[in-house]
Amino acid sequence: MTRSSNRTTSFEVAALAGVSQSAVSRAFTPGSSIAEETRQKVLEAARKLNYVPNSIASSLTTKRSNIVALILGNLANPFYVHVMHAFSRKLQEHGRQVLIFTVDAGAESDDAILQVLKYQVDGVILTSAQLSTRMTSMCHDRGIPIVLFNRYIPGSDASGVRCDNNGGGRLIAEAFLAAGAKSYLIVTGDPTATTSGDRMHGFMDRLIEGGIKRSDISQIEGNSSYEGAFSATIRYFSSPDVKRPDAIFGVNDIMAMGVMDALQLRLGMKVPEDLMLGGFDDIPEARRAPYHLTTVRQPIDQMVDETLAILHLDEPTRPIERGIDKRIPGRLIWRSTVPAPRDSE
Protein backbone atom coordinates (compact mmCIF):
# COMPACT_ATOMS: atom_id res chain seq x y z
CA MET A 1 0.00 0.00 0.00
CA THR A 2 1.78 3.12 -1.14
CA ARG A 3 0.73 6.68 -0.80
CA SER A 4 -1.32 8.63 -3.34
CA SER A 5 -2.74 5.44 -4.70
CA ASN A 6 -6.25 4.61 -5.68
CA ARG A 7 -8.31 7.68 -5.06
CA THR A 8 -11.63 7.31 -6.75
CA THR A 9 -12.66 10.10 -9.09
CA SER A 10 -16.00 11.32 -10.27
CA PHE A 11 -15.38 9.61 -13.62
CA GLU A 12 -15.22 6.20 -12.04
CA VAL A 13 -18.37 6.87 -10.09
CA ALA A 14 -20.00 8.07 -13.30
CA ALA A 15 -19.01 4.89 -15.07
CA LEU A 16 -20.44 2.68 -12.37
CA ALA A 17 -23.65 4.68 -12.16
CA GLY A 18 -23.98 4.81 -15.94
CA VAL A 19 -24.07 8.58 -16.10
CA SER A 20 -21.72 11.35 -17.09
CA GLN A 21 -19.16 12.94 -14.84
CA SER A 22 -21.25 16.09 -14.83
CA ALA A 23 -24.05 14.17 -13.23
CA VAL A 24 -21.78 13.04 -10.44
CA SER A 25 -20.68 16.56 -9.81
CA ARG A 26 -24.27 17.69 -9.77
CA ALA A 27 -25.26 14.95 -7.39
CA PHE A 28 -22.84 16.38 -4.87
CA THR A 29 -23.67 20.02 -5.50
CA PRO A 30 -26.74 21.15 -3.59
CA GLY A 31 -29.14 23.15 -5.67
CA SER A 32 -27.99 21.92 -9.03
CA SER A 33 -30.29 20.58 -11.66
CA ILE A 34 -30.49 16.83 -11.35
CA ALA A 35 -33.32 14.29 -11.15
CA GLU A 36 -33.70 12.72 -7.74
CA GLU A 37 -33.54 9.29 -9.31
CA THR A 38 -30.21 10.00 -10.96
CA ARG A 39 -28.92 11.48 -7.79
CA GLN A 40 -29.66 8.33 -5.87
CA LYS A 41 -28.00 6.21 -8.51
CA VAL A 42 -24.89 8.33 -8.24
CA LEU A 43 -24.82 8.37 -4.47
CA GLU A 44 -25.22 4.62 -4.45
CA ALA A 45 -22.29 4.17 -6.80
CA ALA A 46 -20.25 6.66 -4.81
CA ARG A 47 -20.93 4.74 -1.64
CA LYS A 48 -19.85 1.51 -3.22
CA LEU A 49 -16.58 3.03 -4.32
CA ASN A 50 -15.97 4.98 -1.12
CA TYR A 51 -15.88 8.07 -3.25
CA VAL A 52 -15.19 11.38 -1.56
CA PRO A 53 -15.25 14.52 -3.69
CA ASN A 54 -11.91 16.23 -4.03
CA SER A 55 -12.30 19.69 -2.56
CA ILE A 56 -8.94 20.76 -3.88
CA ALA A 57 -10.03 20.20 -7.45
CA SER A 58 -13.35 21.75 -6.72
CA SER A 59 -11.68 24.84 -5.30
CA LEU A 60 -9.74 25.23 -8.47
CA THR A 61 -12.83 25.78 -10.54
CA THR A 62 -15.06 27.49 -8.03
CA LYS A 63 -12.26 29.71 -6.78
CA ARG A 64 -13.50 29.16 -3.27
CA SER A 65 -11.56 26.96 -0.93
CA ASN A 66 -13.96 27.01 1.99
CA ILE A 67 -10.91 27.43 4.13
CA VAL A 68 -10.54 30.21 6.64
CA ALA A 69 -7.18 31.03 8.14
CA LEU A 70 -6.84 31.75 11.81
CA ILE A 71 -3.59 33.36 12.86
CA LEU A 72 -2.95 33.07 16.57
CA GLY A 73 -0.39 35.00 18.50
CA ASN A 74 -0.58 34.07 22.11
CA LEU A 75 -1.78 30.61 22.98
CA ALA A 76 -0.28 30.94 26.44
CA ASN A 77 -3.26 33.10 27.27
CA PRO A 78 -6.28 30.82 27.66
CA PHE A 79 -8.47 33.58 26.33
CA TYR A 80 -7.16 32.97 22.86
CA VAL A 81 -7.63 29.26 23.20
CA HIS A 82 -11.29 29.91 23.80
CA VAL A 83 -11.39 32.29 20.91
CA MET A 84 -9.89 29.65 18.69
CA HIS A 85 -12.35 27.08 19.92
CA ALA A 86 -15.27 29.39 19.28
CA PHE A 87 -14.14 30.10 15.74
CA SER A 88 -13.47 26.47 15.07
CA ARG A 89 -16.91 25.42 16.24
CA LYS A 90 -18.71 28.10 14.33
CA LEU A 91 -16.83 27.61 11.10
CA GLN A 92 -17.20 23.85 11.23
CA GLU A 93 -20.94 24.31 11.63
CA HIS A 94 -20.91 26.24 8.40
CA GLY A 95 -18.88 23.58 6.64
CA ARG A 96 -15.70 25.60 6.60
CA GLN A 97 -12.24 24.38 7.35
CA VAL A 98 -9.88 26.18 9.68
CA LEU A 99 -6.24 26.60 8.83
CA ILE A 100 -4.21 27.47 11.92
CA PHE A 101 -1.08 29.51 12.11
CA THR A 102 0.73 30.23 15.31
CA VAL A 103 3.13 33.12 15.39
CA ASP A 104 5.14 34.48 18.26
CA ALA A 105 3.14 36.99 20.22
CA GLY A 106 3.46 40.43 18.75
CA ALA A 107 5.52 39.19 15.81
CA GLU A 108 4.94 40.10 12.20
CA SER A 109 2.41 37.86 10.55
CA ASP A 110 3.70 38.41 7.03
CA ASP A 111 5.01 34.90 6.55
CA ALA A 112 1.79 33.40 7.77
CA ILE A 113 -0.27 35.64 5.51
CA LEU A 114 1.85 34.68 2.55
CA GLN A 115 1.24 31.00 3.23
CA VAL A 116 -2.40 31.71 3.62
CA LEU A 117 -2.57 33.46 0.28
CA LYS A 118 -1.06 30.44 -1.40
CA TYR A 119 -3.93 28.37 -0.18
CA GLN A 120 -6.52 30.75 -1.55
CA VAL A 121 -8.32 30.96 1.75
CA ASP A 122 -11.70 32.62 1.76
CA GLY A 123 -10.84 34.80 4.71
CA VAL A 124 -8.25 35.58 7.35
CA ILE A 125 -8.75 36.17 11.04
CA LEU A 126 -5.87 37.66 12.93
CA THR A 127 -5.50 37.65 16.70
CA SER A 128 -2.71 39.26 18.61
CA ALA A 129 -0.20 39.57 15.82
CA GLN A 130 1.07 42.46 13.82
CA LEU A 131 -0.10 43.09 10.29
CA SER A 132 1.84 45.09 7.76
CA THR A 133 -0.01 47.37 5.38
CA ARG A 134 1.62 45.54 2.50
CA MET A 135 -0.03 42.29 3.52
CA THR A 136 -3.31 44.03 4.08
CA SER A 137 -3.37 45.32 0.57
CA MET A 138 -2.18 42.03 -0.87
CA CYS A 139 -5.16 40.34 0.72
CA HIS A 140 -7.53 43.05 -0.38
CA ASP A 141 -6.15 43.08 -3.89
CA ARG A 142 -6.98 39.47 -4.37
CA GLY A 143 -10.33 39.75 -2.72
CA ILE A 144 -9.52 38.02 0.54
CA PRO A 145 -11.19 39.67 3.50
CA ILE A 146 -9.17 39.99 6.65
CA VAL A 147 -10.42 40.82 10.10
CA LEU A 148 -8.42 41.76 13.15
CA PHE A 149 -9.78 40.14 16.26
CA ASN A 150 -9.24 42.13 19.40
CA ARG A 151 -6.57 44.12 17.74
CA TYR A 152 -6.55 47.57 16.39
CA ILE A 153 -3.76 48.57 14.13
CA PRO A 154 -3.67 52.32 13.63
CA GLY A 155 -3.22 53.31 10.03
CA SER A 156 -4.43 50.00 8.74
CA ASP A 157 -7.54 49.86 6.62
CA ALA A 158 -8.19 46.29 7.66
CA SER A 159 -11.45 45.83 9.50
CA GLY A 160 -11.52 44.69 13.05
CA VAL A 161 -13.69 43.53 15.89
CA ARG A 162 -12.73 44.18 19.46
CA CYS A 163 -14.02 44.54 22.90
CA ASP A 164 -14.45 48.09 24.08
CA ASN A 165 -11.20 47.93 25.96
CA ASN A 166 -11.26 51.51 27.03
CA GLY A 167 -14.78 51.17 28.36
CA GLY A 168 -13.86 47.93 30.06
CA GLY A 169 -10.96 49.62 31.81
CA ARG A 170 -13.40 52.21 33.03
CA LEU A 171 -15.70 49.53 34.40
CA ILE A 172 -12.96 48.10 36.55
CA ALA A 173 -11.99 51.59 37.66
CA GLU A 174 -15.56 52.23 38.71
CA ALA A 175 -15.67 49.05 40.73
CA PHE A 176 -12.49 50.03 42.55
CA LEU A 177 -13.72 53.55 43.16
CA ALA A 178 -17.00 52.25 44.50
CA ALA A 179 -15.07 49.96 46.83
CA GLY A 180 -13.13 52.92 48.11
CA ALA A 181 -9.63 52.35 46.75
CA LYS A 182 -7.40 55.43 46.77
CA SER A 183 -4.10 54.27 45.31
CA TYR A 184 -3.55 52.02 42.34
CA LEU A 185 -1.19 49.77 40.46
CA ILE A 186 -1.64 48.73 36.86
CA VAL A 187 0.00 45.61 35.48
CA THR A 188 0.23 46.09 31.73
CA GLY A 189 0.83 43.61 28.96
CA ASP A 190 2.50 43.84 25.62
CA PRO A 191 3.35 47.51 25.17
CA THR A 192 3.01 47.25 21.39
CA ALA A 193 -0.58 46.10 21.70
CA THR A 194 -3.29 48.69 21.67
CA THR A 195 -5.44 46.27 23.63
CA SER A 196 -3.36 46.68 26.76
CA GLY A 197 -2.95 50.42 26.24
CA ASP A 198 -6.65 51.05 25.74
CA ARG A 199 -7.60 49.18 28.88
CA MET A 200 -5.02 51.08 30.84
CA HIS A 201 -6.07 54.46 29.52
CA GLY A 202 -9.74 53.85 30.11
CA PHE A 203 -8.89 52.74 33.60
CA MET A 204 -6.71 55.75 34.37
CA ASP A 205 -9.03 58.28 32.84
CA ARG A 206 -11.91 57.03 34.90
CA LEU A 207 -9.85 57.06 38.07
CA ILE A 208 -8.82 60.63 37.44
CA GLU A 209 -12.41 61.60 36.76
CA GLY A 210 -13.15 59.97 40.09
CA GLY A 211 -10.76 62.29 41.84
CA ILE A 212 -7.70 60.10 42.03
CA LYS A 213 -4.39 61.85 41.63
CA ARG A 214 -2.13 60.67 38.87
CA SER A 215 0.66 60.28 41.39
CA ASP A 216 -1.44 57.64 43.12
CA ILE A 217 -1.42 55.45 40.04
CA SER A 218 1.64 53.33 39.36
CA GLN A 219 2.34 50.94 36.58
CA ILE A 220 4.46 47.86 35.97
CA GLU A 221 4.96 45.57 33.04
CA GLY A 222 3.68 42.02 33.26
CA ASN A 223 4.54 40.61 29.84
CA SER A 224 0.95 39.50 29.22
CA SER A 225 1.69 36.26 31.03
CA TYR A 226 1.04 34.65 34.38
CA GLU A 227 4.71 34.21 35.04
CA GLY A 228 5.57 37.73 33.96
CA ALA A 229 2.95 39.26 36.21
CA PHE A 230 3.89 36.98 39.08
CA SER A 231 7.51 37.99 39.12
CA ALA A 232 6.83 41.64 38.31
CA THR A 233 4.57 41.80 41.34
CA ILE A 234 7.17 40.31 43.63
CA ARG A 235 9.79 42.66 42.26
CA TYR A 236 7.55 45.65 42.75
CA PHE A 237 6.66 44.92 46.33
CA SER A 238 10.18 43.98 47.23
CA SER A 239 11.39 47.49 46.57
CA PRO A 240 12.04 49.27 49.88
CA ASP A 241 10.27 52.54 49.12
CA VAL A 242 7.17 51.04 47.63
CA LYS A 243 3.81 52.55 48.43
CA ARG A 244 1.35 49.77 48.79
CA PRO A 245 -1.65 50.34 46.51
CA ASP A 246 -5.23 49.70 47.54
CA ALA A 247 -6.06 48.07 44.24
CA ILE A 248 -4.34 46.38 41.33
CA PHE A 249 -5.63 46.11 37.80
CA GLY A 250 -4.19 43.33 35.70
CA VAL A 251 -5.07 44.17 32.13
CA ASN A 252 -5.87 40.55 31.48
CA ASP A 253 -7.04 37.72 33.70
CA ILE A 254 -4.03 35.54 33.29
CA MET A 255 -1.83 38.34 34.63
CA ALA A 256 -4.28 39.13 37.39
CA MET A 257 -4.03 35.50 38.42
CA GLY A 258 -0.26 35.77 38.52
CA VAL A 259 -0.51 38.91 40.60
CA MET A 260 -2.92 37.28 43.01
CA ASP A 261 -0.78 34.24 43.56
CA ALA A 262 2.30 36.37 44.08
CA LEU A 263 0.49 38.52 46.63
CA GLN A 264 -1.05 35.70 48.60
CA LEU A 265 1.53 32.97 48.32
CA ARG A 266 4.73 34.96 48.30
CA LEU A 267 4.05 38.35 49.80
CA GLY A 268 1.67 37.34 52.53
CA MET A 269 -1.15 39.64 51.54
CA LYS A 270 -4.78 38.72 51.32
CA VAL A 271 -7.09 39.61 48.48
CA PRO A 272 -9.36 41.49 48.87
CA GLU A 273 -8.70 42.20 52.56
CA ASP A 274 -5.34 43.86 52.06
CA LEU A 275 -5.63 44.71 48.44
CA MET A 276 -8.29 44.47 45.78
CA LEU A 277 -7.70 43.05 42.35
CA GLY A 278 -9.35 43.25 38.98
CA GLY A 279 -8.75 41.51 35.66
CA PHE A 280 -10.01 41.52 32.12
CA ASP A 281 -11.38 38.81 29.79
CA ASP A 282 -13.31 36.56 32.15
CA ILE A 283 -11.60 33.37 31.16
CA PRO A 284 -13.10 30.28 32.80
CA GLU A 285 -10.07 30.00 35.08
CA ALA A 286 -10.93 33.37 36.61
CA ARG A 287 -14.12 31.91 37.95
CA ARG A 288 -12.41 29.10 39.81
CA ALA A 289 -12.27 28.93 43.55
CA PRO A 290 -8.68 30.11 44.08
CA TYR A 291 -9.29 33.31 42.18
CA HIS A 292 -12.94 34.18 41.84
CA LEU A 293 -11.77 37.27 40.11
CA THR A 294 -13.64 40.46 39.50
CA THR A 295 -13.17 41.11 35.82
CA VAL A 296 -14.63 42.37 32.58
CA ARG A 297 -16.20 39.72 30.43
CA GLN A 298 -15.47 39.85 26.75
CA PRO A 299 -18.48 38.53 24.87
CA ILE A 300 -16.56 36.03 22.77
CA ASP A 301 -19.50 34.53 20.95
CA GLN A 302 -20.80 37.88 19.91
CA MET A 303 -17.37 39.02 18.84
CA VAL A 304 -16.93 35.86 16.81
CA ASP A 305 -20.29 36.38 15.15
CA GLU A 306 -19.42 39.94 14.26
CA THR A 307 -16.12 38.83 12.84
CA LEU A 308 -17.78 36.26 10.63
CA ALA A 309 -20.34 38.82 9.58
CA ILE A 310 -17.59 41.10 8.34
CA LEU A 311 -15.99 38.20 6.53
CA HIS A 312 -19.42 37.46 4.97
CA LEU A 313 -18.20 34.18 3.60
CA ASP A 314 -21.65 33.38 2.26
CA GLU A 315 -21.72 36.33 -0.08
CA PRO A 316 -18.40 36.17 -1.83
CA THR A 317 -19.42 38.70 -4.43
CA ARG A 318 -20.19 41.40 -1.92
CA PRO A 319 -17.34 43.86 -1.78
CA ILE A 320 -14.93 43.67 1.11
CA GLU A 321 -15.68 46.29 3.68
CA ARG A 322 -12.62 48.08 4.87
CA GLY A 323 -11.84 50.07 7.92
CA ILE A 324 -14.70 48.75 10.02
CA ASP A 325 -13.88 49.07 13.69
CA LYS A 326 -16.57 47.18 15.51
CA ARG A 327 -16.36 47.72 19.22
CA ILE A 328 -18.42 45.60 21.56
CA PRO A 329 -18.92 46.55 25.18
CA GLY A 330 -17.69 44.26 27.91
CA ARG A 331 -19.57 43.54 31.08
CA LEU A 332 -18.31 43.85 34.61
CA ILE A 333 -18.39 40.58 36.51
CA TRP A 334 -18.21 41.42 40.15
CA ARG A 335 -16.68 38.59 42.12
CA SER A 336 -14.84 38.46 45.37
CA THR A 337 -11.53 40.16 44.60
CA VAL A 338 -13.22 43.53 44.95
CA PRO A 339 -15.28 43.93 48.11
CA ALA A 340 -18.83 45.11 47.68
CA PRO A 341 -19.17 48.87 48.25
CA ARG A 342 -20.05 49.73 51.83
CA ASP A 343 -23.26 51.27 50.76
CA SER A 344 -24.99 51.83 47.48
CA GLU A 345 -25.11 55.54 48.19
Q: Using the rule CB under 7 A, which residue among 16, 23, 147, 161 binds DNA?
A: 23
Strand 159-163 versus strand 325-328 pairing type:
parallel
Distance CA 211, CA 209 (A): 5
Select from a copy of itself, DNA, none the partner in contact with residue 10, using the beta carbon and a kind-dependent cut-off of 5 to 8 Å.
DNA
- Determine which residue in the list 15, 43, 49, 58 makes contact with DNA, applying CB under 7 A: 58
Q: Which of residues 20-59 bind a copy of itself (CB under 8 A)?
A: 50, 52-57, 59
Task: Give CA–CA dist 191/130, Å, rounded.
Answer: 13
d(CA 123, CA 309): 11
- Measured from the CB of residue 188, what is the shortest distance to a copy of itself in angstroms? 21
Asked if residue 109 binds DNA (CB under 7 A), the reply is no
What single-letter amino acid sits at 99?
L
CB of 47 to a copy of itself, least distance (A): 12
Q: Rounded CA gap, 146 and 125, in Å?
A: 6
Burial class (CB in 10 A: 0-12, 13-18, 19+), 47: exposed
Among 162, 169, 195, CA closest to 302: 162
54: contact with DNA by CB under 7 A: yes
Taking residue 324's Cβ as centre, other Cβ atoms within 10 Å add up to 16
Indicate the residue among 181 and 262 with the shorter CB distance to a copy of itself: 262
Binding segment for a copy of itself (CB under 8 A), chosen from 74-82, 184-192, 203-211, 301-309, is 74-82
Measured CA to CA in angstroms, residue 219 lies from 211, 254, 333 at distances of 18, 17, 23
List, in order, residues 6 or more apart from 213 with CB less than 8 Å away: none
207 near 177, Cβ under 8 Å? Answer: yes
Q: Closer to DNA by CB, 21 or 102: give it.
A: 21
Binding mask 114-133 for a copy of itself (x = CB under 8 A): xx-xxxx-------------
Which of residues 53, 106, 210, 299 is near DNA by CB under 7 A? 53
Q: Is residue 220 a contact point for a copy of itself (CB under 8 A)?
A: no
Amino acid in the structure at residue 332: L
Indicate whether 48 belongs to the interface with DNA (CB under 7 A): no
Other CB atoms within 10 A of residue 325 CB: 11
Query: For a copy of itself, what does the binding mask look like between residues 90 and 109, x meaning CB under 8 A?
Result: --x----xxxxxx-------
> With binding defined as CB under 8 A, does residue 267 bind a copy of itself?
no
| Interface stretch with a copy of itself, choices 87-95, 125-133, 213-221, 335-343 (CB under 8 A) | 87-95
* 3-class DSSP state of 107: coil
CB of 16 to DNA, least distance (A): 12
**Cα(224)–Cα(226) distance, integer angstroms:** 7
Least distance CB 97 / DNA (angstroms): 15
| Residue 276 site contact among DNA, a copy of itself, none (CB < 5 to 8 Å, cut-off depends on kind) | none
Give Cβ neighbours of residue 63 (< 8 Å, ≥ 6 apart).
120
What single DSSP character describes residue 215?
G
Q: Which stretches of the chain bind DNA, using CB under 7 A?
A: 7, 9-11, 18-23, 25-26, 28-29, 32-38, 53-54, 57-58, 60-63
- Residues forming contacts to a copy of itself in the complex (CB under 8 A) are 1-7, 50, 52-57, 59-60, 63-65, 67, 70, 75, 78, 81, 84-85, 88-89, 92, 97-102, 114-115, 117-120, 138, 140-145, 226, 230, 261-262, 265-266, 288-290, 316-320
